[in-house]
Amino acid sequence: MTPSIMIVSFIFLGISMLVSAILKRKFNTFSKIPIAARLTGKQIAERMLRENGIYDVQVVSVPGFLSDHYNPMNKTINLSPDVYSGYSVAAAAVAAHETGHAVQHATAYTWLTLRSKLVPAVQFSSNLVNWVLLIGIIMASSGNYTLLLVGIILFALTVVFSVITLPVEFDASRRALAWLQSTNVTTPQEYPKAKNALTWAAMTYVVAALAAVATLMQYVMIFLGGRDRE
C-alpha cells in the first residue's frame, strides 16, 4: 500500500469511527425514549409487513448490537434483542427500516435487485482483491502493470456495490419514515428522533462509499502515472 493510499485510508477510518461513535450514542439515547404506541420492534415489523401485503417474511431475533438486517435469501427480518423486544424510538426506527428492505424485495425495487445480482461477484473479488493489488503494486515497480489493472477491476466491483447500496439504504429509510408517520406509530414528537437515528445510520454507508471511491481513484492514479512514464 502506497503512502498516499494509507493517508486516505486513515482519514476515512477516522471519519468512519467518528460517525459510528455518533450513531451508537444516538441509538443509546433514543433507546431510552419509549414510544407512546407501546409496540415492540417485532410488532412494528409485523404490522408494517401486513399493511404492505407481505405474509411470507418472518421476524426473528439475532444476537449482537446494531446487528439488524434483512436477509432476502430466507426472507427474514433479523432484529437485535434491543430492537426486537424494545418499545423505544430507536427500536421503532430500525425495525421499520429493515422492514423497508423487505418491502423493496417484495416490489422488486430496482437497486436492491441489482445489488443482489452483484453479491456473488463481490464475494469472489473481496477474497482476492487485497492480495492482487499488493502483488500488482510490487510488480508495477518493475514496469509490469497487468496485475495492478486486474486488481483495480476487482476493487471496482466492490466500489460499485458500495455506491449501489446508498439508494437501497436511503429508500428503505424513506419507506420506514413515511410509514411511521402515516400510521402514527410515532407521534409528532417522536418522529424527528426516529428520522435523526436513521439519518446517522445512513451516514455510515455514505462514508464507506466515499472511502471506496477515493481509494479506487488512488489506485487508478498509480496505474496511469506508471503507464505515462513508460
Q: Facing residues of 27 across strands?
A: none
Q: Which helix (H) or strand (E) holds 223?
A: helix 191-228
pLDDT of residue 2: 61
Q: Is 49 left (phi over 0), alpha (psi -120 to 50) or beta?
A: alpha
Given the residues 98, 169, 190, 230, select the one marked as catalytic.
98
pLDDT tens, N- to C-terminus, the chain (230 residues):
566 667 777 787 788 888 888 888 888 899 999 999 999 999 999 999 999 999 999 999 999 988 999 999 999 999 999 999 999 999 999 999 999 999 999 999 999 999 999 999 999 988 899 899 889 888 887 888 899 999 999 999 999 999 999 999 999 999 999 999 999 999 999 999 999 999 999 999 998 898 889 889 888 888 887 654 55
* CA atoms within a 13 Å half-sphere pointing along the CA-CB vector of 23: 19
Our answer to whether residue 98 is catalytic in this structure is yes
Rounded CA separation 96/45 (Å): 6
pLDDT of residue 227: 53
pLDDT of residue 176: 98
> How many Cβ atoms from other residues are within 10 Å of residue 50's Cβ?
10
Query: Residue ranges per domain, the chain?
Result: 3-36+89-100+108-228
